[in-house]
Structures are given as structure tokens and as C-alpha cells.
Amino acid sequence: MSEKHQLTLKDIAKELGLAVSTVSRALKSHPDISKETIKLVKDYADKHHYVPNLLAVNFRKSKTYNIGLVIPELVHQFFSTIISGVIKEANEYGYNVMICQSNEHVDDEKKVAKALLNSRVDGVIISLSNETDEVSHLKDFIAADIPVIQVDKISDQFDTPKVIVNDYAGAYQAVSYLLDLGYKRIAHIRGRLIVQHSNERYRGYAEALEKHGQSVNEDYVKVCDLLTEDEGFHFAQELMSLPEPPDAFFCVTDLVALGVMKYLREKDIKVPDEVGIIGFSNWKLGEIVSPTLCTVDQPGYEIGEKAMQLLLNKINNGMESPNERVVLNADLIVRESVKKQ
């Protein structure tokens, strides 16, 4: 069953008394080759389980069929969902995905970028680290004719196709929902000022308030640094100690929302009756805590799929193709941490 030596075109050619080139063309049904020869070759190849040597093919075509995927961290539900989408789409077209982590550090990001460049990937999908504020290391890819797609955390300093989630609309929807439910004083625990996401979500928050005749009360807006549960806990404490504490929290991410929830539970403040909470990102654990966490879903899988499609398009149709910007919807998922309608 298992030969020591993998079957090659040469073997087939010798066996069939044909030239290697003829066999090669026959397998591709090249018009230069007669129907009979094609059938002969294909039958023989099938029968003996010929499978082209990928190394040789790739070498010849100087294509690695590898694409690089750079993400802040692998062990993270949102990113692993993206990865899953990328891999599924990539495999469908015969590409492998090399996963690299930046660990949210721009230095690591530069390191893996260089490694990907050296390993001659056919393309790159990247979600920037929180630290990244300049993208010179990415422009090297373009210089080397390697297409890049940005997803999720993107930089507008760098003109590539992009796949992002409509953070603004998701946030707007969430805050509007809170207002419609009758919550009056909505706090926002937001992310860092240099992160586009945070800004977009803040914008959604602000505009939803304004649309409902309120204006942003800066006392109700807190800026997280690391987006941890502790920060959520801490800011909840601060906010709930105000003379007029908020009656709802819209948090930049679920983990922070859970920190808020923890504080409220400790203080025996009822969620959702006294205070409502909405998070962002739809982490698994939001379904498990109780009350379950109302959140905004980010379609990670679709982001991955779409990004890979855009990348394939760039790879095949060249760098001249326009740099599309795909915006996916972030939808509110209503759960127990907000009042019933």
C-alpha cells in the first residue's frame, strides 16, 4: 500500500511510454493532447493514486499557499472564532494559515511581520495590537507585493481592504435599547482613546443619548486601560458612589461588564431591576453567568471568512483591485441583565 517512493510524472511517463510534459498536460486536459491520451494518463494516475508533489508545484509557481494571520492573542474567544473562519475559507482554496500572535505588543507584531515576510507567505490578514500606532512594518508587505487585509483592529494610515464590525451601530442599538426600556442614567465604561473600536462604541453611545434628547454626562464615562474585570468592578464602584449613580451600564466589552455585575452583586443591587448592564462581544461566559449578560455580538467567524475572501481576491486579481471596506453588523443579544420589554 505504501511505496517508499511517491509516484511522479516521470514514473507515469516511463510506464506509459510518454514524455513527462505530455503527462503533465494530459492531467490538466490541455487541448494539445488527444482525448485518448488524456484518458489513458488520467486512468493510470487515478489507479495508482498519483498526487502531485506540492513542494515541486509550489516551488515552480513560487507560491507558498501559506497565508499569515496575525492576531493579538490566540486564546481568546473572539480571535479564535476569526481564526476558525479564516481557516475554513482558506482550506477551501488550498491555502494554509500560519497563525502568529502579537500578544498585544507592537514589538512582537513587528517580529512576526518580519518572519512572515521571510517565509514568503502569499498574503497576510492582520488585526492590530492595541499598542500599534504606526504601520511601517506592514508597508514592507506591500513593498514585497504581498497583499494585506486588515480586520477588526485596523489602521486608517494603511490603505488595504478591511473587514470591520459596525461598532458604532452596535453601540447605538444597545444604548437605544436601554433608553427604550426606561433606563435614564446610562454610564459608559469605554476602552482606550487611541483604539478605534472604543471610539466608535463611544460615538454610538453618545449619539444614541442625543437622539433621545440626552447629552453625554462626562461623569458617567470612564476609560479602561486593559479591559479587565477588575477595572469594571472598580469603575462600577466609583460610578455607583456618585450622588446620582447611573441606572445602567454600557461596557466596552463583556469582561468589564462582568466586573460591573460582580460589584453590583456584592452590593446587593438588583440586576436588571435596579441597574441594567450591556456588554460587548458576546463571550461565551455571558451565557453562563446569572443573570445572563445582554451583549452585542461580533460576528467573528464571518469576519474571518470575509477577510480570507478579500485576500484571495487580492492574491488572484493583483494589487490593483480596489481596497474594499466591508462592514459587518454587530447585533444586540438580549439577555437577563436588562429589563424585559
Interface ranges with DNA (CB under 7 A) = 5-6, 8-10, 17-22, 24-25, 27-28, 32-37, 52-53, 56-57, 59-62
The binder of 218, among DNA, its own copies, none, by C-beta within 5 to 8 A per type, is none
Beta bridge partners of 240: none
Residue 273 binding its own copies, by CB under 8 A:
no
| Nearer of residues 28 and 340 to DNA, judged by Cβ | 28
Single-letter amino acid code for the residue at 204:
G
Q: Minimum distance between the CB of residue 194 and DNA, rounded to whole angstroms? A: 41
| Nearer of residues 39 and 48 to its own copies, judged by Cβ | 48
1 Cβ neighbours under 8 A, 6+ residues apart:
none
Q: Minimum distance between the CB of residue 264 and its own copies, rounded to whole angstroms? A: 11
Pairing state of beta strands 248-251 and 96-101? unpaired
| Nearer of residues 84 and 196 to its own copies, judged by Cβ | 84
Residue 53 binding its own copies, by CB under 8 A:
yes
Single-letter amino acid code for the residue at 75:
V
| Nearer of residues 30 and 120 to its own copies, judged by Cβ | 120
Pairing state of beta strands 186-190 and 276-278? unpaired
Q: Minimum distance between the CB of residue 29 and DNA, rounded to whole angstroms? A: 11
Residue 319 binding its own copies, by CB under 8 A:
no
Alpha carbons 173 and 208: distance in angstroms, whole number: 8
End-to-end CA, the chain: 66
The binder of 211, among DNA, its own copies, none, by C-beta within 5 to 8 A per type, is none
Query: Residues 91-94: contacts with CB within 8 Å, 24+ apart?
Result: 93/312, 94/65
Query: Residues 76-83: contacts with CB within 8 Å, 24+ apart?
Result: 77/281, 77/283, 77/284, 77/300, 78/281, 78/283, 78/298, 78/300, 79/127, 79/300, 80/300, 81/300, 81/301, 81/304, 82/127, 82/151, 82/152, 82/300, 82/301, 82/303, 82/304, 82/307, 83/304
The binder of 144, among its own copies, DNA, none, by C-beta within 5 to 8 A per type, is its own copies
The binder of 265, among DNA, its own copies, none, by C-beta within 5 to 8 A per type, is its own copies
Residue 64 binding its own copies, by CB under 8 A:
yes
Alpha carbons 80 and 230: distance in angstroms, whole number: 24
Alpha carbons 282 and 254: distance in angstroms, whole number: 7
Out of 118, 215, 241, 341, the residue judged to bind its own copies by CB under 8 A: 118
Q: Which of residues 206-245 bind its own copies (CB under 8 A)?
A: 229
Q: Which of residues 75-94 bind its own copies (CB under 8 A)?
A: 75-77, 80-81, 83-84, 87, 91
Out of 19, 21, 54, 180, the residue judged to bind its own copies by CB under 8 A: 54
The binder of 193, among DNA, its own copies, none, by C-beta within 5 to 8 A per type, is none
Nearest to 91 by CA among 110, 69, 59, 117: 69
Residues that bind its own copies (CB under 8 A): 1-2, 51, 53-56, 58-59, 62, 64, 66, 74-77, 80-81, 83-84, 87, 91, 96-101, 115, 118-120, 140, 143-145, 229, 255, 258, 262, 265-266, 284-285, 287-290
